[in-house]
Amino acid sequence: MEGKLASLRIALWGASGRMGEAVLDCLGEQSEMSLVAAVVSEGSTWRGRLLRERFPSAPAEQRFLCARDCPPCDLILDFSGAAGFAEALSTALRFGAALVSGSTGLSRQDEERLEQASARIPVLWAANFSLGLIVLLALAEQAAAWLSDFDVELLDLHHRGKRDAPSGTARALGEAVIRAKESQGCHARAVFQREGARGEGEVGMVSLRGGDAVGEHRLFLLGKGERLELAHQVSDRRVFARGALRAASCLAGRPPGRYRLESMLPSLVGPVELDRVGSRPV
């Protein structure tokens, strides 16, 4: 049956990481959701320990689990990174659960698995779950199309521990720019390292890492005598957690298919509707 479930049973992958912690902090705001598993890796020091050691409001006996101990659930929310993504996806398939994933640094094989899984379960992957970033993606694509003769450069800034560079969000922005330029008949390609002069059609991506920066992305469109900058900055990681939980609420109970986060924007003025992309019949 389509539509939201009365009580959405969620299993959280990557529960001991930064995003896992933010999701656990925000789950208490969602009365229609219940956490059935907080999953960590086999080698995690948190495995088997009580959630209450980090989250006083957690149920008294609930513990951090490894994947094989995960009970049946309606949806898996995955922030385990490239190392845990395949296991999260296979578990979702085993239970027939929906999957919402924010894991970045995925391999081509992971991407293929995600696409194949969309024939059996509803899946949604996004590099960034903030509403402001969704708007920035739309603005970036439109601006790059309108200013197709402008040079474009991207910068992303994150904390020192972030494992992927450029960030998944920076790559998504770059893809939006390249898509827009090519729609106008312009050649464009992503460049992650540069020495010497700028090449024709390059969309440069620069990554800065340090301190505890949550996330900042800047898009520069550089023309003759003028420059346009589009920027997005996050100061509270719970922005991503709330967006992911909102996406989970929308996705649960939907038919199999690949869904887009961009279609959450209509929720500002009306009911949320997720567009299916690339779905196949079961």
Handedness of CA 95, 113, 207, 230 (dihedral sign): negative
Q: What is the DSSP string of 94-148?
A: HHT-EEEE---S--HHHHHHHHHHTTTSEEEE-S---HHHHHHHHHHHHHHHHTT
**Tokens 């969602």 sit on residue:** 30
Q: Go through the chain and tell me how many residues it has.
A: 282
The answer to whether 162 is a known catalytic residue is: yes
Task: Give strand pairing partners of 189.
Answer: 202
Q: Of the listed 4, 159, 162, 181, which one is catalytic?
A: 162
The two tokens of residue 9 are: 């049973």
Query: Residue 104 and residue 81: Cα distance in Å, rounded?
Result: 6
Bridge partners (DSSP) of residue 151 are: 222
DSSP helix/strand/coil, 50: strand
Q: Is the dihedral of CA 115, 116, 117, 121 positive or negative?
A: positive
Active site residue 158: yes
* 3-class SS of residue 208: strand
188, amino acid identity: A
Q: Which of 4, 158, 181, 232 is catalytic?
A: 158
Q: Which residues are catalytic?
A: 158, 162
